[in-house]
A = this chain, B = another copy of it.
């Protein structure tokens, strides 16, 4: 008796995600979302429940398909130091490639965190925490392999590396040039010596 949806829900979330990603929550209007997704105003509310719910879905999708898959790709590499290098390289490359200068959806959301609900805050915090843990685990492994001196404090250095990724993402939206971004990456490496 029912009737199948005429659109691919996943596809809609993906397009909505890109709107929120580039404009932020507050500046994305329902009209922006309907015209980007192609679905009607009412359908959007019927299928997702509203702007906030759709934002959360989009953020979760980003977290899963960008942050999470990026980290597990890096984690799969056998040499931590190489994976760190690849991490910074990739983040810089993404920053330079993106003509829209959208930055990172998680970082963008982090810098408007005071206006978001608990659920959104949780997603952002978890994402950044796992980034930090990726660095920390890598440092500990590298120390065990004598690639990083024991004088390096894994937890602290990991936080600093994550912070530098965040800074690249923010400054990459218009402040820093390519060479300046690379300078940050260069210095990040020095934290492990």
- Interface residues, chain A, with chain B CB atoms under 8 Å away: 22-24, 26-27, 100-103, 107-108, 110-115, 121, 124-125, 128, 153, 155-157, 159-160, 163-164, 166-168, 170-171, 173-176, 180, 183-184, 186-188, 190-191
**How many whole Å from A154's CB to the nearest CB in chain B?**
11
Q: Which of B26, B128, B168, B183 contacts A175 (CB 8 A)?
A: B128
Of all chain B residues, the one with the shortest Cβ separation from A116 is: B174
Contact B174 A160 (CB under 8 A): no
Distance A163 CA – B107 CA, assembled complex (angstroms): 14
Given contacts A187-B157, A190-B191, contact A167 B163 (CB under 8 A): yes
Contact of A108 among B111, B124, B175 (CB under 8 A): B111
- Please determine whether A156 and B170 come into contact, CB atoms closer than 8 angstroms: no
In the complex, A102→B103 CA distance in Å?
20
User: Is the pair A173, B26 in contact by a Cβ cutoff of 8 Å?
Assistant: no
Q: Which residues of B contact A184 (CB under 8 A)?
A: 159-160, 163
Q: Which of A121, A159, A164 has the most CB of B within 10 A?
A: A159
